[in-house]
Amino acid sequence: MLANKTALVTGSTSGIGLGIAKALARQGANIVLNGFGDAEGPKAEIAALGAKVAYHGADMSKPAEIEAMMAFAASTFGQVDILVNNAGIQHVARVEDFPVERWDAVIAINLSSAFHASRLALPAMLKSNWGRIINVASVHGLVGSAEKSAYVAAKHGIVGLTKVTALENATTGVTCNAICPGWVLTPLVQKQVDAKAAAQGISNADATRQLLGEKEPSTQFTTPEELGELAVFFCSPAGNNVRGVAWNMDGGWAAQ
């Protein structure tokens, strides 16, 4: 379905981003990966699906590096047809205790990077009259949780940016939508599970059940594979007139 299309997925060397990249690769898209840590393993996973793959290690807190990444993607594959803004970090603290530098980092990577990548991708998408911008927000783009001020603010901002981007391009072949996951078992979430287990002196399994039970009525994690399939839907002909939605896959979290 996505043969001859190119998808750039930020924060895609593991977790949600890699799951989405693999789902798009299965549909024939060329893939540009981005993220920290080992890139060779994820590149090999994408290549094993028969897709062409490249990697750029841009620091998503730095606009100049984002510009270099977008230029690299265009020079490698022609243009970015599908942009998945997924890069994200987390820090947990009360507002009065929140380190200013951590606030700035969370906003830069979780929100501002999506703006910079989108503004750079849109001209080519509009010229070809086809494009998909998929912003990975969070259920925290729809509701709040204590001690997550920067993350919640950034994800609410992503939902707002999604709506504006969709509206500005509503009469074109370019769409913009947001995915709002609940708990997804990624390295980021595993750290929270481990911390809860250590703090309370309980097993990892008990910490997992407690974590899910607090917020997610289904008491099960959403998977990167499920999120990837939703991204594929947004890229399909069935998604042509899906514009500006914040689609939660959260096991009923926001329904409460």
Q: Which secondary structure element, helix H or strand E, spans residue 205, and what is its range?
A: helix 204-215
* CA–CA gap between residue 10 and residue 23 (Å, rounded): 14
Return the closest-CA partner of residue 133 out of 109, 104, 162: 162
**Catalytic status, residue 55:** no
Return the closest-CA partner of residue 175 out of 133, 135, 136, 228: 133
The two structure tokens encoding residue 248: 């939660």
Angle between helices 113-128 and 149-168 (to 10 degrees): 20
Q: Do residues 148 and 141 lie in contact, with contact meaning Cβ atoms separated by under 8 Å? A: no
Residues 6+ apart with CB under 8 A from 111: 153, 154, 155, 157, 158, 161
* CA–CA gap between residue 213 and residue 196 (Å, rounded): 13
Q: Do residues 241 and 213 lie in contact, with contact meaning Cβ atoms separated by under 8 Å? A: no
CA atoms within 13 A on the CB side of 239: 24
Which one from 77, 151, 183, 221 is the annotated catalytic residue? Answer: 151
Active-site residues, by number, are 151
